[in-house]
Every structure is written in C-alpha cells, then in structure tokens.
Amino acid sequence: MKLELRGITKRFGSMTANSNVNLVVKPGEIHCLLGENGAGKSTLMNILYGMLTPDEGQILVNDEIVTIRDPKDAVAHGIGMVHQHFMLIPVFDVADNVILGSEPVKPWPVIDYKTAIAELLVLAEKYGFEIDPRATVENLPIGTQQRVEILKALSHDASVLILDEPTAVLTPQETDAFMVILRSLKESGKSIIFITHKLREVLEIADVITVMRLGEIVGVTTPSETDERGLATMMVGREVNLVVDKNPATPGDVVLDVKDLFVEDERGLTSVKGISFEVRAGEILAVAGVQGNGQTELVEALTGMRRPSGGEVILNNVNLHGESVRKFLDAGIGHVPEDRQRFGLVLSLSISDNLVLDQLDDPKFHNRFGRNLKAIKLNGEQLRKEFDIRSQSAEEPVGALSGGNQQKVVMARELSRELKILICSQPTRGLDVGSIEFMHRQIVAIRDSGVAVIIVSSELDEVVALGDRIAVLFDGEIQDIVPPSTSREDLGLLMAGAHSREVSA
Amino acid sequence: MTDTATRPPQIGRIVHFALRARQANMFLVLLFSLFIGLVFGGFLIILTTPALMTSWGHFFSHPGGTISSSFNTIWFAYEQLFQGALVNFHSLRLLIDNPSKINLANVLAPLSGTLTYATPLIVAGLGLAIGFRSSLFNIGGQGQVIVGGVLALLVSISFNLPPFFQVTLEIIAAVIGGALVAGLAGVLKAYTGAHEVIVTMMSNYTMVLILGYLLITSVFARPGVHDGASKAIEVSGQLPYFLSHLNSALLLNFGFPIAFVTVLAVQWFFNRSKTGFQLLMVGQNPDAARVAGIFSRRSIIICMALSGALLGLAGMLKITGVDHLATPNFGGSYGFDAITVALLGRNKPWGVFFGAIFFGVMYTGGAAMQAFTPTNIQFSLSQVIQAVVVFCVATPALVIEAFRLRDGASLISTNGSGGWV
C-alpha cells in the first residue's frame, strides 16, 4: 500500500507542531522518521492514525484522498499503530487485548476464544513471537507487552504499521529479534513507519530516512548516503557529541554498601538473590542486564520502595534496612525511576510543582503562610533554564511536555537535592540524541562532583559509555563486575547468563 | 478549520473577539447550563399549566397570544424565583424611597433565606471536595452530618457555658466526631483496603439508626414527649443571628461567616499547605507520591478525617444555626446534596461556595415561586431545573458541543478528581 501525506499542518494554539509536511511511504518500505523529542513526529503519526485532525493538508492511500477522522477509519484503511505508551488494558489477558474491538463471536454474543487464540498463535508463530495468550498483560514485562501491541495491529490486517519508538523499551537481544521481525514484515509487503531516536538502528534497517526538526521536514536520505554523525547533526541542527566525554573516575570512600541482598517481587518470588556490591563516591556503577532479571526489584530495594527479604543496604555506614522511602531520600539517595510518568511525575501538576515533589519539607519552599509559591515558581523557572526544559513557562502541566523534557524535570529535581548517591533507572529511555547527550553530561558532572552514581540500563551503549564499572545482572544475581573496556560480545554473553570464566575462556 | 491567526487584521479583531467569546471556559459552560435548565423548566411550566395547554391546543387560531401568554407565565414564575431568592425589586424601590429598618429587612429577607439554607451545604460540599480531589469518595456525608449535629446537641444539653465557649465547644465536638467516623473509614482503607465508598455508605445507615435510638433516650428526648424530636438547643448554644435587630424573621446567622472562613481555609489548604499538596499528589498519582517519600496510608487517613471533620461541622452549623433541635431525619439528603454541590463546584473551594448558594437560590426561590404564582407552580420545578443544570455542568462536553464552543478539551479532561467528576 502506498501512503502519502501532503502539506500537513497542525497548530496547537500559537505553536505549530507540523508545518507543511510531505511524506511518501512506498509499499514494502521501512521508512524511518527521525527527530528530537518535540520535533512533531508523534503529532504527525497521530494525525495519520486519526487521533488528531490536521488544520491543513491531505492523506492519500494508494493515490486517493481519504479522510481519517478516528483510529477506526485508520484501521479500515489498513493503518496500524503501536504507541510509545501502550494502549493495552492491564487487567485483561493477551488474547482479550488483541481481539478487543473485533471479537470473533460464535454463537453471538459468546466470544469465540478458541478461534481467537488459535489465530493469535498462528500470527505469533509467523513473526516469531513467544507469547502466552492467557497471561494477564500487567504481569508481563514491557518488552512482551509491546509484542502484544504489535500482534494487535497485525491482527487487524494492517498494511502500514506505525511503530512509535518500539525499540526504546527493548533489550539488545530483543532489538535484534525485532529487526528480524521488521524485515519479515517488509518482505510480506507491509510498509513500516519506524519512529526512533537510535541512529544505529536507523542505519541498519531503514530504506528511507526522513528527518524532522521543529515541525518541519529538514531532510530525506538513505543509510548509504549518511552516517550517525550526519543524522545527528540533521536532527539537532548542530554538531552533536555522540561519545560521552569523561575523565577517568577518581573513586573516594564507599558510599553505598550492599550486602547479601535478597528481594522478593509482588508474587513473592525471589528476584534478587543475594547480591553484594559497593559503590564509591565519584564513580559510576552501571548495572547491565536484560530486562526482568531483577533490576526493578534491586532499584526498589535501594530506594526504600520495597523492603528486602534479607541483607543490608548501608549508606555512609548507616543501615537503611526497613526504613521508609522518606528516610532513604533524606539520607541522600536520589532516584530517577524507570517509568517516569508513573513513578516520577504527577502529570496534571505544573513543572514547578513537580520540581519539588520530594522536597516538600525543605524550609526553602516554606514561609509563614505555608508553601512558598513564589520560591517554588522561582525554583521552577531556574531549573527550567538550567536544564533546558522546553516549555512556555514552568507553570505548564508536566503532562504537556515531551518525554525527554519530562525526564529532564525528574533529573533536575533529583539533582537539585543534596545527594550522596544518584540511582538512575533507564535514564535515557525514549530520549533523542540531543537529550541523551545532555543527560549523560549531567550524570558525569554529578559523578565528578563526588556523588556516587548507579545507572541501571538495558542499553548496552549507555552502560559502556557511562559506567566506570559494569555489574551484569542475570536471573537476580551479579554475574560479574567488569571494566567498561570489556567487549560488547562478552557483555552480551554475560547478560545471557554465561560466567566470566566461560567468557574469557 | 479556520484559525484567528490566519485572518486579515482588519476584520480580524471582530472575528477574533467573537471567537474568543466562544472559547469554552467554565463560566460559559455554567451560563449555558443555566440557560438549558431554564428553557427545560419553561417547557415543564407550559406542560403543567392547564390554561397554557388549552391555549396551545388552539395555537393556530391565535398563535401570538399563545406564545405571549406562555412567555409571560414563564417569565413571571422565574421572576418570582429570582426575587424570592435574591432581591425583590419592589421592596428595593420602597427602601430607596423610604430608608427604614423594615424596608431594609424586606430587601435582605430573600438573600438571608438563601444564604441560611446554603451555609451548612457550603461546608459539607467543601468536606466532600477535599476527598474527591484526593480521589477518595466519602459517601458518608449524611452520617457525618448526623454525628456532628448530635454531638453539638449533646454539648448544648450537657454544658451551660457562656455563649462563645458553648458554641466553640460544640464546634470542637462536632469536628472531632465527624473526623473520627470518616477517619475510621480512612484507617480501614489504608490498612485493609476496604473501599471507602462501601464503608462510608454503610456508616450512613448506622448513624441514622443510632440517631433514631438516641432521640428516644432520656438524654435527648424531651421529658414526657416521644415524638422523636429532641430537646432544643439553648440560646447560649445557638449561633447568633446577624440581622435580627432589623427583623426577627431574618435567620441569617454566624454560621455563614464560619462557612466563608472555611472556604478560605480549604483554599489555603490545597494551594499552600504541605499536607494539602500531598493529598493532591496521592490523589493524582499514588505511585509518584510513594517515590517522593509520601506515606500514602497516612495521607488517606488524614484526608478522610479532614473530610469528615468538615461534614461534622456542617451538621453543627445546621443544628445550631437552623434547626435548633434534632429529628429522626436530621441528616436528610445533606450528604448527597453536598456531593452534587462539590460536583457543581468542580471541587474548587469557591466553586463549592457558589454551588451551594445556587442550591440555596433554587430552594428559597422555588418556595417563593410556588407561593406567588397564580397557578402555584410546584416547588419541585426549581429542583428539576437544578437537576438539569447539575447534569449539564457535569457533562461539559455536551454543553460545549451543543453551543459549538471551541477548544473545550482541557475543560473536559481537567477535573482534578481522577475521573469522578
């Protein structure tokens, strides 16, 4: 199916999100849409998928003008979309979610689960997904939830698939598998619009690359004509430093001492199995590992969110075992949570308010009459400038910001406190190159100021770039702690469960 | 779609103004809701007035007369409603011609009635709004109003202090009582996960039955009489009237300034207090609140207790300012009216304030309408209008669509209570 967007313009108030955008997607083409957060990619795709109406311009399917008023129209025209933030119903199981809205019935009104599940399994097998149709979605890891989304789109016979930052949540291995899926989709004649920030992936898979900046298309190219540096420059509009600039660490005293830590997850299964490690002031410990190997529970235990079932968390010689989150924060632990929208921000509140969420007790933000709104506002404006949070003012609701800017809010908040250790979980997930560069510089700067840092990331590039030491987590245990000079292959093997001895052998 | 920015500047200004005027905001939605309510009420007046129906039966022989007589009837009814609830123009003219105490009293009478009725409702609405903004649904207003009222009565019966201290003690008792009842629901929610809606709703039945029992015990019942009405609150325990020096029929009492101060206090609580902000956070995103080190159990209990405290206070204001004694149906539908008021005010303190006053207007105005229209248009009509207005305010999307207002999305989605309102 050939898809064309012609002269699309979309304004929100005084802001122009898309300005005269033209885009052609040919059948069987993988078309990468590249751009910073807030460049207008998501707006464009939401227009294509019928979630927004354009102010000007047309959408053409197979050279005929079509009107897409809502996602139903889009689906009817063979357009499927996998959103960055999944549109799944958490308490439903996989099969329910996939058939939702187009349930097979036999006899009416009984849902024919047998057929539904059979079709689902056929589809899953065709594209190499391993999935349990009866698993409840909320219990599935994010990577699997995404496959459910993709299956859902495929089950509606989509011939154009819009994938909004699909690899942002995937592990390297999953990403590789995902690329295979993309190619097989392409071979079966489906067109794919692939939105991403990851230049490496773009160069690996794209047939055509369209780069957007500030709502406009600034360039169309192909992988053979460009490289990572060229793409980054096109996206950001200036030279971008793709390598993290950092001096060797000068580790000081031990700040965090974790001894024989055991943590159970909600289901009571032990997901962290006797981990011990130390983090020193002025060094970055990167925790690498495929998602679901205990990272979430480890971070929760280190930030007081989850009470460990055994072991000790000692910060500056104080045992924090069993203390409240408040005590952990007061002890100087900064926490940038994995899911910023769910755990890091209150989306309906303003940027300023979000910048003081965990600092309500700070006398700085109080006066005789209660919360010092002036100080909070001033603090908001200051951090907004300092961290380059793109918004009209610090009084806008945080929910109106793009992902990268939301992450900047969380980071700004944590860094504005007096910290001993900063724990970042997936600090650059879903961020564009410009924002990643910014985040990485902040993290290195805080390290250099003598704070201990733990980075938990499933992004191998990030782990290698930032970590002074890399702890590889597999099945709730630390396989090994290795220097960042370790080869990607060896890291990959450790992440897959091999032991160091086997790797070096 | 057109946009103001693309228009040429000359006609732009007028068009811009027109479009701006159609920009959806809460005020416009309220205005249109009121309009819909009144139009709907107008139809009902026609349908329920036999003379008008007969006239419509002969519509084609004298259409002008039919329309004008219908219009006049409706207009007159609404005029009575307005004048009976807010200000009577006739007495206003008399006052201007002849400024005397009696004339002043006559001018203030309608408003006095309205505000007296609205006073406990303002406080009760605020109590519920505190819960709703934190995503806690206290449905136990009725029970907590009863507890507040009964405890105030108990204080009045048991003590004989100078008026100021007597009233202060009544307030303290009522506030603590309400806070305990709702707080219990909060504790149950925080520690066992029992849903506050169920618990508070059940507490309503409990309190109604306890009230019924108490009213026949010797502590509360009048000696020798068992009609269910309690002993009266002594004058020292009543909230003093404001304007009784003008006319003893003016019942506006010191409950109103108390309610007014409560509005300011709740406003402060949400805008400026740490606890209020925490409640808001827990209500909007409990997960993020937890990461920020906020103890959500504590927040839930505090929030429910505060909500109950205000409902207890509402009960106290009602019994010491309006009723002066308790009857088995003392709580009435207050708890539920207060929910509607909170909804009408979109859980904002000033919104609740004016929402309650709107209820007062419809209540006193409805009575006046029934008394002064020649066909005695039923009091219930005012309640129907009220219901239609509430319905429209609760569904801004409907109003925005019906009147083609622009850019209403933010209005529809921002409600500060996580989907309840």
A253-270 residue pLDDT tens? 999 999 999 999 888 889
- On whether both A74 and A173 belong to a single domain, the answer is yes
Nearest to A142 by CA among A267, A295, A304, A298: A295
Cα dihedral sign, A268-A269-A271-A274: positive
Q: Residue ranges per domain, chain B?
A: 117-357
DSSP 8-state secondary structure symbol assigned to residue A198: -
Among A208, A236, A264, the domain boundary falls at A236
Mean pLDDT of A394-408: 88
Hey, are the CB atoms on B293 and A344 less than 8 Å from each other?
Answer: no
Nearest to B120 by CA among B300, B251, B237: B251
Total count of domains within chain A: 3
- On whether both A295 and A397 belong to a single domain, the answer is no
| Model confidence at A504: pLDDT above 90 | no
Which chain A residues are closer than 8 Å to B278 by Cβ?
360
Of B272, B274, B291, the CB nearest to A343: B291
- On whether both A163 and A71 belong to a single domain, the answer is yes
Asked if B278 has any chain A CB less than 8 Å from its own CB, the reply is: yes
Asked if A400 has any chain B CB less than 8 Å from its own CB, the reply is: no
Hey, are the CB atoms on A325 and B291 less than 8 Å from each other?
Answer: yes
Which of A335, A360, A376 to substitute to test the interface with B, most B CBs within 10 Å? A360
Rounded Cα distance between A473 and A290, Å, is 8
Hey, are the CB atoms on A371 and B292 less than 8 Å from each other?
Answer: no
Hey, are the CB atoms on A329 and B292 less than 8 Å from each other?
Answer: yes
Hey, are the CB atoms on A346 and B285 less than 8 Å from each other?
Answer: yes
Which chain A residues are closer than 8 Å to B289 by Cβ?
346, 357
Mean pLDDT of A422-450: 89
Residue with the two structure tokens 């946009």: B3
Asked if B6 has any chain A CB less than 8 Å from its own CB, the reply is: no
Asked if B388 has any chain A CB less than 8 Å from its own CB, the reply is: no
Rounded Cα distance between A78 and A140, Å, is 28
Q: Among A61-70, A138-147, B126-135, which stretch is predicted with the lowest mean pLDDT? A: A138-147
Q: Among A33-37, A46-50, A300-304, which stretch is predicted with the lowest mean pLDDT? A: A33-37
Asked if A386 has any chain B CB less than 8 Å from its own CB, the reply is: no
Residue with the two structure tokens 């380059």: A388
In a domain, A457, yes or no: yes
Q: Residues 20..79 of A with a Cβ closer than 8 Å to B: which?
A: 53, 55
Provide the β-strand partners of residue A264.
A270
- On whether both A402 and A422 belong to a single domain, the answer is no
Question: Residue A346: closest CA among chain B residues belongs to which residue?
Answer: B285
Angle between helices B101-133 and B349-372 (to 10 degrees): 130
The set of residues, in sequence order, having a beta carbon less than 8 Å from that of B163 and lying 6+ positions away, is B235, B236, B237, B240
- The 10 Å Cβ neighbour count of residue A103 is 15
Hey, are the CB atoms on A360 and B277 less than 8 Å from each other?
Answer: yes
Q: What is the pLDDT of residues A285-344, one digit of tens each?
A: 999 987 778 999 999 999 999 999 999 999 999 999 888 999 999 999 999 998 888 899
Hey, are the CB atoms on A366 and B416 less than 8 Å from each other?
Answer: no
Which chain B residues are closer than 8 Å to A349 by Cβ?
280-281, 284
Hey, are the CB atoms on A305 and B278 less than 8 Å from each other?
Answer: no
- On whether both A43 and A165 belong to a single domain, the answer is yes
Asked if A325 has any chain B CB less than 8 Å from its own CB, the reply is: yes
Which chain B residues are closer than 8 Å to A305 by Cβ?
290-291
Asked if B404 has any chain A CB less than 8 Å from its own CB, the reply is: no
Range of the domain at A394: 346-406
- The 10 Å Cβ neighbour count of residue B37 is 22
- pLDDT number for residue B417: 36
Hey, are the CB atoms on A325 and B290 less than 8 Å from each other?
Answer: yes
Rounded Cα distance between B164 and B176, Å, is 18
- pLDDT number for residue B1: 40
Asked if A348 has any chain B CB less than 8 Å from its own CB, the reply is: yes
Instruction: Round the average pLDDT of chain A to a whole number and report it.
Output: 88
Asked if B284 has any chain A CB less than 8 Å from its own CB, the reply is: yes
Which of A14, A16, A346, A368 to substitute to test the interface with B, most B CBs within 10 Å? A346
- On whether both A55 and A171 belong to a single domain, the answer is yes
Residue B330 and residue B319 in contact, taking contact as beta carbons nearer than 8 Å: yes
Residue A279 and residue A332 in contact, taking contact as beta carbons nearer than 8 Å: no
- pLDDT number for residue B307: 97
In a domain, A339, yes or no: no
Asked if A138 has any chain B CB less than 8 Å from its own CB, the reply is: no
Which amino acid, residue A50?
A: G
- On whether both A229 and A261 belong to a single domain, the answer is no
Cβ-count burial A195-229 (b if 16+ within 10 Å, e if not): bbbbbebbbebbbbbbbbbebebebebebeebeee
Which chain B residues are closer than 8 Å to A301 by Cβ?
none
Asked if A250 has any chain B CB less than 8 Å from its own CB, the reply is: no
- On whether both A229 and A372 belong to a single domain, the answer is no
Question: Residue A365: closest CA among chain B residues belongs to which residue?
Answer: B274
- A485: exposed, middle or buried (C-beta count within 10 Å: 0-12, 13-18, 19+)? exposed
Of A53, A337, A347, the CB nearest to B291: A337
Of A343, A369, A371, the CB nearest to B277: A371
Which chain B residues are closer than 8 Å to A358 by Cβ?
291-293
Asked if A11 has any chain B CB less than 8 Å from its own CB, the reply is: yes
Hey, are the CB atoms on A346 and B294 less than 8 Å from each other?
Answer: no
Hey, are the CB atoms on A329 and B293 less than 8 Å from each other?
Answer: yes
Rounded Cα distance between A59 and A39, Å, is 20
**Higher-scoring residue by pLDDT: A241, B81:** B81
* pTM as predicted: 0.79
DSSP 8-state secondary structure symbol assigned to residue A341: I
- pLDDT number for residue A268: 85
The four Cα atoms A15, A17, A22, A25 give a dihedral, to 10 degrees, of -170
**Higher-scoring residue by pLDDT: A128, B275:** B275
Which chain A residues are closer than 8 Å to B280 by Cβ?
346, 349
Each of the 421 residues of chain B gets a pLDDT tens digit; together they read 444 444 445 556 666 666 566 666 778 888 899 999 999 999 999 998 888 888 888 888 888 888 999 999 999 999 999 999 999 889 999 999 998 888 899 899 999 999 999 999 999 999 999 999 988 999 999 999 999 999 999 999 999 999 999 999 999 999 999 999 999 999 999 999 999 999 999 999 999 999 999 998 889 988 887 778 899 998 999 999 988 888 888 889 999 999 999 999 999 999 899 999 999 999 889 899 999 988 888 999 999 999 999 999 999 999 999 999 999 889 888 888 999 999 888 899 999 999 999 999 999 999 999 999 888 888 999 999 999 999 998 888 888 888 877 654 455 443 333 333 3
Which chain A residues are closer than 8 Å to B288 by Cβ?
342-346, 357
| Model confidence at A181: pLDDT above 60 | yes
In a domain, A295, yes or no: yes
CATH at residue A448: 3.40.50.300
Mean pLDDT of A10-19: 83
Hey, are the CB atoms on A326 and B293 less than 8 Å from each other?
Answer: yes
Hey, are the CB atoms on B271 and A371 less than 8 Å from each other?
Answer: yes
Q: Cis before residue A133, ω within 30 degrees of 0? A: no
Rounded Cα distance between A361 and B375, Å, is 63
- CA–CA min distance B348, chain A (Å): 15
Question: Residue B23: closest CA among chain A residues belongs to which residue?
Answer: A13
Asked if B274 has any chain A CB less than 8 Å from its own CB, the reply is: yes
| Model confidence at A471: pLDDT above 50 | yes
pLDDT-based confidence at residue A502 (cuts at 50, 70, 90): low
- pLDDT number for residue A301: 94
Residue ranges of E strands in B89-181: none
Among A173, A204, A236, the domain boundary falls at A236
Question: Residue A355: closest CA among chain B residues belongs to which residue?
Answer: B292
In a domain, A244, yes or no: no
Rounded Cα distance between A163 and A194, Å, is 5
In a domain, A442, yes or no: yes
In a domain, A109, yes or no: no
Angle A41-A216-A77 from CA coordinates, rounded to 5°? 50
Residue B274 and residue B263 in contact, taking contact as beta carbons nearer than 8 Å: no
Q: Residues 239..268 of B with a Cβ closer than 8 Å to A: which?
A: 268
Q: What is the DSSP string of B293-346?
A: T--HHHHHHHHHHHHHHHHHHHHHHHIIIIISS--TTSSTTHHHHHHHHHHHTT
Which chain B residues are closer than 8 Å to A342 by Cβ?
285, 287-288
In a domain, A325, yes or no: yes
Hey, are the CB atoms on B288 and A55 less than 8 Å from each other?
Answer: no
Asked if A377 has any chain B CB less than 8 Å from its own CB, the reply is: no
- CA–CA min distance B145, chain A (Å): 29
DSSP 8-state secondary structure symbol assigned to residue A404: H
